[in-house]
């Protein structure tokens, strides 16, 4: 091989290029998204493009130790189904899909897996998957919603809304930085959140709900407050911290 590929995003590689690099690859980063409404503020690809772009940058930080796979673009979005366009997998299909991806990569000698999640609704299934990978295959697997789970302190500085976490000032800022073409800049809106939802914040109870019961226009927070500068700060802090975590994850 004359020159090494400049990055390790699987869809950009040929198999001889990948084969040459495999001995140096210590972890697969698997972006996991959704095809889900994000209010008037964003396109259906928010979670998929966000997790993919964050993962590519993460892969560059860890080069050549991380292979970044193409994103899983359908996730667990049952609760969004009342909004037109939402496509969801059933939990069993989603879990089987992720297990099949891990099995396939393991056949090429990869033994550590990090799911770079872009959608909160995927969380319960991802916890099942990382445990099954460990218990049934004996491989290390982990997931986090990125960059958000790693940057709560940075988010706290910029959040202005009582309810946030979906197409809000934080997620929209991140997308303005990572994939601005997905942001509907002329339609940015505040979440239309009923008072009883605001009052119920912080309850320890998990009640089954459709998302249009939580917000009538499909978003939380106030995306009009989003800026690419806030997004850059969240992403850069997230990259530093997730990369540091993964360096430890692959060192053992
Ligand atoms: Zn999202």
CATH number for the domain harbouring residue 118 = 3.40.50.10310
What is the average pLDDT across 143-159?
Answer: 97
Ligand 1 geometric centre to CA of 125 (Å): 16
Instruction: Tell me whether residue 137 is in a domain.
Output: yes
- Rounded mean pLDDT of the chain? 96
Distance of CA 186 from the midpoint of ligand 1 (Å): 19
The SS3 of residue 61 is helix
Query: 109: CA distance to ligand 1 center in Å?
Result: 32
Average pLDDT over residues 50-62: 98
Distance from the alpha carbon of residue 121 to the mean position of ligand 1, in angstroms? 9
Is pLDDT at 108 greater than 80 in this prediction? yes
User: What distance in angstroms lies between residue 106's CA and the mean position of ligand 1's atoms?
Assistant: 29
CA 175 to ligand 1 center in whole angstroms: 9
Model confidence, pTM: 0.96
Q: From ligand 1's centre to the CA of 96, what distance in Å?
A: 22
Ligand 1 center–CA 193 separation, angstroms:
17
Looking at residue 1, its pLDDT comes to 53
Domain count, the chain: 1
* Sheet hosting strand 112-117, strand order edge to edge: 66-68, 27-32, 112-117, 140-145
With respect to residue 107, please indicate whether it lies within any of the assigned structural domains: yes
Evaluate whether residue 150 is within a structural domain: yes
Tell me, in angstroms, the distance from the centre of ligand 1 to residue 148's CA.
11
Ligand 1 midpoint to CA 46 (Å): 5
pLDDT for the residue 159 = 94
* Alpha-carbon torsion angle 197, 144, 101, 122, nearest 10: -10
- Residue 215 CA to ligand 1 centre (angstroms): 14
Whether 50 has a pLDDT exceeding 60, the answer reads: yes
Domain that holds residue 39: 10-200+209-251
Q: What is the mean pLDDT of residues 235-249?
A: 98
Contact 69, 31 (CB under 8 A): yes
- Taking the centre of ligand 1 as the mean of its atom positions, its distance from the CA of residue 170, in whole angstroms, is 10
- Return the pLDDT at 60: 97
| Helix residue ranges per DSSP H, 22-151 | 46-62, 91-106, 123-132
Average pLDDT over residues 148-162: 95
Q: Is 22 strand, coil or helix?
A: helix
CA distance from start to end of the chain? 30
CB 182 within 8 A of CB 52: no
- CA 205 to ligand 1 center in whole angstroms: 22
Determine phi and psi for 116, rounding to 5 degrees: -90, 95
User: What are the φ/ψ torsions at residue 180 (nearest 5 degrees)?
Assistant: -60, -25
Say yes or no to pLDDT of 40 above 80.
Answer: yes
Q: pLDDT tens digit string along 29-39?
A: 999 999 999 99
Structural domain contains residue 3: no
Residue 45, domain member (yes or no): yes
Beta bridge mates, 113: 28, 141
Distance 118 CA to ligand 1 centre (A): 6
217 Cα: distance to centroid of ligand 1 (angstroms) = 14
Assigned domain for 4 exists = no
> How far is the C-alpha of 224 from the C-alpha of 169, rounded, in Å?
7
Phi, psi of 68 (to 5 degrees): -105, 125
1 domain residue, yes or no: no
CA of 161 to the centre of ligand 1 (A): 17
Question: 230 C-alpha to center of ligand 1: Å?
Answer: 16
């Amino acid at each position: 091989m004359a020159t090494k590929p400049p990055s390790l995003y699987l869809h950009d590689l040929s198999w001889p290029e990948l084969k040459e690099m495999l001995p140096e690859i210590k972890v697969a980063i698997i972006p996991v998204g959704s095809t889900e409404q994000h209010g008037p503020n964003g396109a259906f690809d928010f979670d998929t493009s966000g997790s993919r772009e964050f993962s590519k940058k993460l892969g560059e930080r860890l080069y050549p130790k991380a292979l970044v796979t193409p994103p899983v673009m359908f996730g667990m979005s049952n609760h969004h189904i009342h909004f037109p366009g939402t496509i969801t997998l059933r939990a069993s299909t989603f879990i089987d899909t992720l297990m099949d991806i891990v099995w396939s990569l393991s056949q090429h000698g990869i033994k550590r897996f990090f799911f770079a999640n872009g959608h909160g609704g995927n969380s319960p299934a991802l916890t099942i998957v990382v445990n099954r990978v460990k218990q049934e295959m004996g491989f290390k697997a982990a997931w986090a919603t990125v960059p958000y789970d790693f940057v709560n302190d940075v988010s706290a500085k910029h959040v202005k809304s009582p309810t946030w976490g979906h197409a809000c000032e934080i997620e929209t800022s991140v997308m303005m930085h990572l994939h601005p073409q997905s942001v509907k800049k002329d339609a940015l809106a505040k979440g239309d959140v009923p008072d009883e939802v605001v009052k119920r914040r912080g309850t320890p109870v998990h009640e089954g709900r459709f998302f249009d019961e939580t917000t009538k226009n499909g978003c939380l927070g106030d995306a009009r407050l989003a800026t690419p500068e806030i997004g850059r700060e969240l992403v850069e802090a997230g990259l530093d911290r997730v990369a540091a975590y993964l360096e430890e994850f692959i060192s053992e």
